[in-house]
Amino acid sequence: MENVKTKSGLCFEAFNKQVEGKQTSICVLSNKKGTEAVITNYGAKIVSLMVPDNKGEWVDVVLGHASIDDYLTSGEPTFGATCGRYANRIAKGRFELDGTVYDQLPINSGPNSLHGGLRGFHFRVWDMEQLDAQTVRLTYVAADGEEGYPGELTAVLLYHLTDENEMVISYQATTTKPTVVNLTNHSYFNLSGEGDRYIGDHVLTIHADAYLPTDETAIPYGPLEKVAGTPMDFTEPHEIGERINENFQQLIFGKGYDHCYVLNKEENEMALASRCYSPKTGIVMETYTTEPGIQLYTANWLNESIIGKNGHPYPERCSFCLETQHFPDSPNKPEYPSTVLRPGETFQSQTVYKFTVE
């Protein structure tokens, strides 16, 4: 399959490699409209996502790399990734559960543990089985004690591309010991195309009246704050870049947006969380989720040295993430929705990214 390429120009052979004794590869999902998603089992990542714009041209709306070698050496290991066992941050790499203190989580983001540690799920080779032309199942079994977390955790992920141009992501997890779980997809989106250099013109709405303000290390204080009257307010449509450089402490801490929004929804309810629109292509992405929060991140720490697909550099603020999830540092904040999973229980979560045009 050396010369066979996907619609987005990816070569199958470039993703065939032995990594830590397991074989990496890609699979292609396509629907009746010709929309195409390419998935790799390295980190259960979305490598490309080709959707039509308002002129009928195909646009790749996610950042990523053209080979496994590029992913292995990337300056940003979370492009398109599934993050776990605990996505986002846990303060000081420690938490207490049922009277036992777990304080050996790797510190990899200031004084905190981020996205499951030094070798989180986005660095692991998952078992991958394509179920049909539009569905793939990925499975990863994390050992008891891996990255400092208790319990052998079996995570199962389904990517399903519907004929309505929805990317449906379904998560399940079970454990052998009480543990904490927070899984998310960390795709970097640019609805003008992954080579476009700035998402400040994208128009964003987030259905959240409140967000979690953080300290300078991106750990929430605890209590939520209302977005009204602040540049954090996306309850009405705003360009992402409209207020991103304002002299507002939360934006200064993060060099832009990097905050969890508390969604206006009931627990476990599947509801519309956000809507984003590119005026260049007319592509609209709606995000639906069962999760209580969504992390808006505006790629504030990318830089020109990161080269992606098609030789495109990925500079600061060339993309945005809308990571559906439970709240950062929930294991240390009992007032937040619980992230505890116990033996005999099944963690379940679902997120839908739906693409249309206007």
pLDDT for 35 = 98
**Banded model confidence at residue 4, pLDDT cuts 50, 70, 90:** confident
Is residue 1 scored above 70 in pLDDT? no
Q: What is the mean pLDDT of residues 273-302?
A: 98
Check: CATH 2.60.120.260 for 12-357?
no
**Banded model confidence at residue 218, pLDDT cuts 50, 70, 90:** very high
Q: Which helix (H) or strand (E) holds 282?
A: none
Q: What is the mean pLDDT of residues 151-156?
A: 98
323 annotated active-site? yes
Q: What is the mean pLDDT of residues 61-79?
A: 98
User: Per-residue pLDDT tens for 104-136?
Assistant: 999 999 999 999 999 999 999 999 999 999 999
Alpha-carbon dihedral 87, 90, 94, 97, rounded to 10 degrees: -70
Is residue 170 scored above 50 in pLDDT? yes
269 annotated active-site? no
Is residue 352 scored above 80 in pLDDT? yes
* Peptide bond between residue 94 and the one before it cis (omega within 30 degrees of 0): no
Contact present, 39 and 46 (Cβ < 8 Å)? yes
pTM, to two decimals = 0.98
What residues does each domain of the chain span?
Answer: 12-357
Alpha carbon distance 137, 150 (integer Å): 25
* Annotated active-site residue in 115, 160, 186, 326: 186
Q: What is the mean pLDDT of residues 35-52?
A: 98
Share of the chain residues as helix, strand and coil, in percent rounded to the nearest 5: 10, 40, 50
Is residue 223 scored above 50 in pLDDT? yes
Q: What is the mean pLDDT of residues 174-182?
A: 98
Residue positions counted in the chain: 358
* Annotated active-site residue in 36, 146, 291, 323: 323
Is residue 54 scored above 70 in pLDDT? yes
DSSP string, 119-160: T-GGGSB-EEEEEETTEEEEEEEEPTTGGG--S-EEEEEEEE
| pLDDT over 90, % of the chain | 99
